[in-house]
Amino acid sequence: MIKKNKVEHIFFDLDHTLWDFERNSAATFQYIFKELDFKFSLKKFLEFYNPINHFYWKQYRENKISEVELRFLRLEKTFGKMNIPHTSELIQKVSDLYIQKLSTHTFLFDNTIEVLKYLDETYFLHIITNGFENVQQRKLENSGIDHFFKVVLTAEKIGVKKPNPIIFNEALRLADALPENSLMIGDSLESDVQTPLELGMQAIHFNSHHEKVHTECLIINRLYDLTKIL
């Protein structure tokens, strides 16, 4: 149960929580396929790419690979698994196009703007994200939601990634917020929930990946549910 009378600051994750990463990523690859005249199935490509991308993001969060390796390996592995002929130059070209175009797509989860307007009347809203600085800023601006947030802290900016407590503590410091008056909302139990709870924050798990039910914190399946809780 959320103690809403104690909440003053709400910290959101961005990708998979407000900004619909899977939908925007698919739209980006659709553009790339057309631009490079790829003939293989986009649907089949995404079936391979999405779990591979999640795997390499986990490797990146755990500091096992660099940003450059993340961007290259997720594509190289996908092309390899699909037995698509490719060169390093082609993989790099696709990677560069993907980063250039990803933030131009602006699909948000249902009711995102409505929910943010509702919460903005009562709370200070902030973002904590493992995404890259310039890309995340463009996502916020292009989606028309950047003005809702007082503090936007990226892992690239501070040099550590969620779930490292350093990034949460720095976000609290920048927001001039106390843990006991703060709530974290995100899609990842590992990255967005467990550390905030350990720090004395409250947390809500937005289960956009349909993960198994747990009892660590409140779970919601729609952003609109926040208007009934807060």
Predicted confidence (pLDDT) per residue in 147-191, tens digit? 999 999 999 999 999 999 999 999 999 999 999 999 999 999 999
CATH architecture of the domain covering 4-20+108-229:
3-Layer(aba) Sandwich (3.40)
Mean pLDDT of 131-152: 96
Q: What pLDDT is recorded for position 207?
A: 93
User: Mean pLDDT of all residues in the chain?
Assistant: 96
SS3 sequence, the chain?
CCCHHHCCEEEECCECCCECHHHHHHHHHHHHHHHHCCCCCHHHHHHHHHHHHHHHHHHHHCCCCCHHHHHHHHHHHHHHHCCCCCCHHHHHHHHHHHHHHHCCCCCECCCHHHHHHHHHCCCEEEEEECCCHHHHHHHHHHCCCHHHEEEEEEHHHHCCCCCCHHHHHHHHHHHCCCHHHEEEEECCHHHHHHHHHHCCCEEEEECCCCCCCCCCCEEECCHHHHHHHC
Residue boundaries of the structural domains of the chain: 4-20+108-229, 22-102
The string of pLDDT tens digits covering residues 25-70 is 999 999 999 999 999 999 999 999 999 999 999 999 899 999 999 9
- The whole-number pLDDT of residue 212 equals 81
What CATH number does the domain located at 22-102 have?
1.10.150.240
